[in-house]
Structure 1
Amino acid sequence: MDSITSILASGLRARAESLDIAANNIANSGTPAFKSEFERYALYGSQEAIASNGGPEFTGLSPDLRQSWINFGQGNLERTERTLDVGLEGNAYFATEMPGGKASDNLLTRNGSFQIGTDGQLKTKEGFKVKLTLPDGTALAPGFRLDPAQSLDIDRLGVIHQNGAALARLDLVQPPDNAQLTKSGDSYFAFSDSAALRRATGAEVHQGWLEKSNADPIQGGIQLVKISRQFEMLQKALQLHGEMSKRSIDEVGRV
């Protein structure tokens, strides 16, 4: 494959990957606490291309989508009036425990659409247990349960009250750097070093509210159109280059 074809093919691949990211943002514009993504590119040149085109000064590099960039910006809070909906304001995450998983498998989320299971545990809609502590931040006693039959109140600090008693507190955490988080599903994040997580400070908890997605469907639609046009232009360029190469071969053959 010649260098021009390689570059155009890489561009088509990069635009296809961008299209997937933009479509996913639009699809999740209604997912609570979803964080939108954007493409981040680096330039790539294969060793073969560099060696055959003048060494390390070769500039015919191809775009390579190394990693998408996550927009961790705060989504708007929307009032739901549902007691077990909890919105976060500030840099904080709910810590969850996956069923039967190791501590390293546990995930973080800002989606506070919760439920109380028949076992008395506060859980996400996917069934992951939401980590709680005592109101003073120390560990809960084994066998702690909330009463599913009783209503509960959650204050701005995340302390859970039932029957007028402060029973537990949402274990709100934050990583040293949000850039260290990787997506795991639509509204969950994985963090490789759970020991480095620290208790969130300055965040406020809002019962009866949910954080909305920060993906803008209008901007997403505009982005889809732009990427589609770029894809079409690259396709036409690749087709034109193929026709010119064929014509050159035919002309050489006549000579």
Structure 2
Amino acid sequence: MELLYTALSGAKQTQTAMAIRANNLANVNTTGFRADLERTAAYQIEGYGFNTRYMSQSEQAGTNFASGRLQQTGRTLDVAIQGDGYLAVQAPSGQEAYTRAGNIMVDGAGQAFINGNPVLSDGGQLILPEYQQITIGKDGTVSVIPQGGGAQIEVGQITLVKPEDAAMTKGLDGLLYLKSGAQAPVSDEVELVSGFLESSNVNAVTELVSSMAVNRQFELQIKMMKTADTLAQSGNKLISGS
């Protein structure tokens, strides 16, 4: 039974690892995506006579915060962060969240969104008037030349933050949040570059090789469970004398 439950516990965690690797591969071309990392820990089974038995237990998935490559798009509303930092958006829950994706889209009312999440500026959503030309500065300042011409005017400043990676966690929606639930202070150290997007930081080759290794490990654990079953049947025969 010890062998069976140990193998079962390992197989369960391996399945989780396989799902995480598959999700990373599925997002290899997702702008600003941060790869997930599986994490497990060994824990001792409680109870008399079980002090030598340990099982594996899943912990909250980690996140790879390494930067992806910058890819030039030539589109003014595409922005990427040079170095550390994040753009602030409003999550569907209403909470402030952070992202490295910079593919800004504007609806008919001039409201700016990134992947459907409102882009934050000066405490509210960034809203653009009808414009003839738009410029986004390295500090996130958005300036436009109004429709029909005229002098360039500032219409807002994209909220940029620079929290420590260790203070952040990734939500199920793919956005990043402060573990404390608070809002990160605005930072003037974060620099944007317009006309670029940051690619996913997933290394497709590494993830594929890791997926193959995890799959082989899962097969080994299944074989261990079959072996445990065979040993149990043999033991039953010896006990019954058949």
Distance 1:3 1:187 in 2: 38
Identity of aligned residues (%): 25
Letter in 1 for 2:128: L
Distance 1:252 1:144 in 2: 76
2:220 to 211, 233, 244: 233
Change (3 A) 1:254 1:195: closer
- Please state whether the residue corresponding to 2:161 is helix, strand or coil: strand
Q: Say whether residues 1:199 and 2:186 are aligned partners.
A: yes
Distance 2:39 2:180 in 1: 24
Aligned to 1:52: 49
Distance 2:45 2:132 in 1: 63
Distance 2:126 2:211 in 1: 49
More helix by share: 1
Aligned to 2:75: 82
- Please state whether the residue corresponding to 1:52 is helix, strand or coil: coil
Distance 2:69 2:210 in 1: 22
Distance 2:61 2:179 in 1: 18
Letter in 2 for 1:43: A
Change (3 A) 1:145 1:29: closer
Using the size of structure 2 for normalisation, the TM-score is 0.89
Aligned to 2:207: 220
Aligned to 2:155: 167
Q: Say whether residues 1:107 and 2:97 are aligned partners.
A: yes
Q: Which runs of 5+ in 1 are unaligned?
A: 134-138
Report the Cα offset of residue 121 of structure 1.
2.0
Letter in 1 for 2:198: E
Letter in 2 for 1:180: A
Distance 1:90 1:242 in 2: 54
Asked if structure 2 preserves the Cα contact closer than 8 Å seen for 1:34 and 1:186, the reply is no
Distance 2:16 2:232 in 1: 28
Report the Cα offset of residue 82 of structure 1.
1.3
Change (3 A) 1:193 1:254: closer
Using the size of structure 1 for normalisation, the TM-score is 0.85
Per-residue Cα deviation, 1:143-195 (whole angstroms, up to 9, x for no partner): 984124433111111111101223321110133x3233222246411335454
Report the Cα offset of residue 3 of structure 1.
2.1
Asked if structure 2 preserves the Cα contact closer than 8 Å seen for 1:114 and 1:123, the reply is yes
Asked if structure 2 preserves the Cα contact closer than 8 Å seen for 1:85 and 1:113, the reply is yes
Distance 1:38 1:122 in 2: 31
Distance 1:201 1:149 in 2: 26
Letter in 1 for 2:103: S
Change (3 A) 1:98 1:16: closer
- Please state whether the residue corresponding to 2:201 is helix, strand or coil: coil
Q: CA RMSD in A?
A: 2.1
Q: Which runs of 5+ in 2 are unaligned?
A: 146-151
